[in-house]
Amino acid sequence: MAQLPSLADAPGTLREYETIYILRPDTLNDRVAEVNQKVRGIIESMGGVVLNVDNWGKRKLAYEISKELKGIYLYWKYLASPDVVAEFERNMRMLDSVIRYMTVMCGRDVDPASRPSEVTDETYEKAAATAADEEELMMRRTDEGGEGEEAEAASSGEGDGGGEAGGAEKAGGAEKAATEEPSASTTDEGDR
């Protein structure tokens, strides 16, 4: 059911919205592309204008949602009327791969002609491709053995002057500083 336009909005203008939705972490790139096409169809068929689409990748969730600890974050910025957002969110509730979504209104009375869309088909393709998350990348680096050599060097005392000679110099310097009298360059409490 279509909503009546708000009398608070100026005629011929739209509202600016940002929506972030989270997909299950095991969602394939083909399925991400399908969800993005569905969202694009909803916005454009109802007179909205997509301004930006971005795939933030797979990230760890702040807390467990639907038994998932990670999710694929997608960001959309668009101009639309309030009924577009209602339809958008209705469709998000019906998709099994979507575990959470949130829409925020960023501005009112935005002239669509003043904010042309810079989104191309290439932008949608990039938004459908999900890169590996930070944890997977770290696991790959540690499996390659790049950090093993650094850990060995640190534990043996190489490269940091942590041998016996370096330790004696440090102790001698602290002892010398404790026995010296304060110089004239130090400030008295009365000078402050």
CB 74 within 8 A of CB 21: yes
Per residue of the chain (192 residues), what is the pLDDT tens digit? 455 566 677 788 899 999 999 999 999 999 999 999 999 999 999 999 999 999 999 999 999 999 999 999 999 999 999 999 999 999 999 999 999 999 999 999 898 888 888 888 899 999 998 877 767 777 777 877 655 455 444 444 544 444 444 444 444 444 444 444 544 444 444 454
Q: How would DSSP label each residue in 2-22?
A: PPPPPTTSPTT-EEEEEEEEE
Q: Where are the domains of the chain?
A: 14-141
Domain 14-141 has CATH 2.40.50.140: no
CB 82 within 8 A of CB 2: no
